Structure 1
Amino acid sequence: MTPLGTASVAALRQYVRCAEAKAIAVADLLCQAGLSEDILETDDGRIDGEQFQTFLHLLAERSSNPILGLETGDFVQPGSYSVLGYISMSCATLGEAVTRIAPYEKLVGDMGTTRLRMTGDEVTLVWHCNYADPLVRPHLVDNVFASWVNYARWLGDVEQAAPLCVKLQRTSPGPELELEYQKRWNCPVTFSAEEDSLSLSKALLSSRLRQPDPMLRKTLEAHALYQLAELETGTDLTAKVRRAIHQQLASGITRQDMIAEDLGMTSRTLQRRLSQEGTSYQKLLDEVRQKMAEGYLRDSEMSIPDIALRLGYSETTSFHRKFKAATGKTPGEYRKNKVGSV
């Protein structure tokens, strides 16, 4: 499985809102990242971390904006943090909300981890980014800190509240664009720093929040713990195999033995365990291929032979036959109908 884990659809939506505001064609980016637009309609959906990183890379390329990550922070909403956002809303103080980040941030995604450090009258949140793509990483870190600041101001109804300082490992985007950080954060910002961190005054952490609800917070935290247990035990083999197939097909290969090896088992064991879950490798392959095929036909200009090749078919005729069996239409007819209905 990918070392980047997964990301919540809630996190993806924040970037989508920003892209749409800048008139960037989101459907095209999703398609190129191997994602269906339908995923945006799910409330608790998750996507492969590699796909999320690819989407962010494509978005950064398309925007050509050195401070894209900073600007995406303007689009944060409580739902951007999944259930963690609602837990923080029900906390009594900003300090209470801050201490909930590290235990539950995995629910937002595996993009990075937070560590709290206390020194005198300061509390520092150090964020370690797990994404290595040199184009994506600085935007992701900027997004995390910009989102934290905007969301904390909204939570505490303190529009002028500011960190003591922010340190970023990224290089400076230039003197003019540095002013954008100052304008949003109203604090010193250091570039080319040794760590990515944001420091707050302990006094600020005592700020009362808008709508504290201790009983609701306990209920939400119980739900969050259940979701974390599901993520960490990883018993849903079908979902894991489906994600692995999706990732392979994005590279034009279909290798059951490689997926089995990544999951620490033989192909025979994989087949047996999938059978116990009421499915098979071939069935999952067919389902993922079909969804990806529909996405390529609907949202890209790839030729049908190229789509067949990308999806691991040795012959275009095999692709035609499978697709028509699933939809009652040939790939060409499907594309024509979808384009005509837009």
Structure 2
Amino acid sequence: MSILGSASVAALRQYVRAASNQGIDTASLLSQAGLSPDLLLSDEGRVEGERFQTFIHLLCEHTGNPVLGLETGDFVQPGSYSVLGYITMSCATLGEAIARIAPFEKLVGDMGVTQLEDAGDNLRLIWHCAWTDPLVRPHLVDNVFASWIRYARWLADDTGAAPTEVTLQRAAPSPEQTEAYTERWGCEVRFSAPENSLLLAKSLLAVPLRQPDPLLRRTLEAHANSQLATLESDTALTTKVKHSIQQQLLQGITRQDMIAEHLGMTSRTLQRKLSQEGVSYQALLDEVRQAMAEDLLVNTDLAIPDIGERLGYSEPTSFHRKFKAVTGITPGMFRAEAGAGSDQA
């Protein structure tokens, strides 16, 4: 079971604004995704990637809109990109702003990674999506490109500025819906492509932006680098916490206070630092437990009740229920399918 990193609350707000504009009960969808509506009040908060992905999945199912991602791009604001948005606002040219995407996009979230490639008279921006949900991925890519194009036009004060070409890995929607892409973006859009990319004429890189402020940009970049350092530190902390949880489970215990003490901090401080990364102690505990459960089921002959007890479950039924919620099958079925033993659930 993987954790899809985290994302800024600002990125979540864009989707919530788009949904609210259509009269959708976002509070209900947020709750189903395990997210509190109070998160939207935070300017510095982070959202666990898996919960954010679940929210978008629910939104896709609720609307049944095949171009949802394209339309949510209409609701981009400078704040949608966290501090990166304000850095790009203070740049002198569009090229200068684009150069800031890759170094600072982690502040927006871990949804994907941008790669820049020289293409003769053009510059190609390739976006590698890191999220795994097959329903969410095409909408997320659509949102990223739609937001980039709309925001760049706003920065340059040029509503007609257009990329040379956009390629999308997703299959083409209906002809009518395909037309929505070309109308919004003003260029050729190729579907079922080998990569998600946006091609820009290099002449566009020299386009001046509306609010250049070199001093402010340097100040904001210093702040952004500080935030990046915090995120990287927290990632290292997450690794340490998961390792400590694993060591505890091998001894049949799960004590957050003991892990915090081992790491030289209080339980409250540990929880705060994990929250800043968009995860919780319980989420990490669940991840480690699941990985260990699968390993023990496949690679040992331990009875299933003994595995549940070793992993800190007070009752065998609790272990069965949690395991099935994650995998869709019972521990016994998992073991049988893996061909590692004949114990029954």
Q: Which residue of 2 aligns with 1:126?
A: 126
Flag the 1:3–1:279 CA change in 2: closer, same or farther, 3 A. closer
1:15 aligns with 2:15: yes
1:149 aligns with 2:149: yes
Cα deviation for residue 87 of structure 1 reads: 0.2
Q: Secondary structure at the match of 1:7?
A: strand
Q: Which residue of 2 aligns with 1:336?
A: none
Q: Map of 1:1-342 to 2, 5 A cutoff?
A: 2-234=2-234, 260-261=245-246, 271-275=257-261, 276-279=264-267
CA distance in 1, matches of 2:155, 2:139: 24
- Normalised by the size of structure 2, how large is the TM-score? 0.73
Flag the 1:262–1:99 CA change in 2: closer, same or farther, 3 A. farther
**What amino acid sits opposite 2:245 in the alignment?**
A
**What amino acid sits opposite 2:246 in the alignment?**
E
Flag the 1:195–1:264 CA change in 2: closer, same or farther, 3 A. farther
Cα deviation for residue 274 of structure 1 reads: 1.3
CA distance in 1, matches of 2:154, 2:112: 23
CA distance in 2, matches of 1:264, 1:101: 41
Cα deviation for residue 234 of structure 1 reads: 1.1
**What amino acid sits opposite 2:192 in the alignment?**
S
Quote the sequence identity (%).
59
Q: Say if 1:2 and 1:49, in contact at 8 Å, map to a contact too.
A: no
Cα deviation for residue 262 of structure 1 reads: 9.7
Q: Say if 1:94 and 1:152, in contact at 8 Å, map to a contact too.
A: yes
Cα deviation for residue 259 of structure 1 reads: 8.0
Flag the 1:265–1:129 CA change in 2: closer, same or farther, 3 A. farther
Cα deviation for residue 279 of structure 1 reads: 2.0
Q: Secondary structure at the match of 1:200?
A: strand
Runs of 5+ in structure 1 lacking a partner? 242-256, 290-311, 315-342
CA distance in 2, matches of 1:265, 1:110: 31
Cα deviation for residue 237 of structure 1 reads: 5.2
Q: Secondary structure at the match of 2:267?
A: coil
RMSD value, Cα: 3.1
* CA deviation vs aligned residue, 1:176-227 (integer Å, no higher than 9, x gap): 1001001100000000000000000000110000010000000000000000
* CA deviation vs aligned residue, 1:35-69 (integer Å, no higher than 9, x gap): 10100000011011000100010000001000000
- Normalised by the size of structure 1, how large is the TM-score? 0.74
Q: Secondary structure at the match of 1:173?
A: coil
Total equivalences in the alignment: 274
CA distance in 2, matches of 1:192, 1:235: 35
Q: Secondary structure at the match of 1:234?
A: helix
Flag the 1:204–1:233 CA change in 2: closer, same or farther, 3 A. same
CA distance in 2, matches of 1:258, 1:222: 32
Runs of 5+ in structure 2 lacking a partner? 273-279, 282-312, 316-345
CA distance in 2, matches of 1:90, 1:48: 29
Flag the 1:113–1:183 CA change in 2: closer, same or farther, 3 A. same
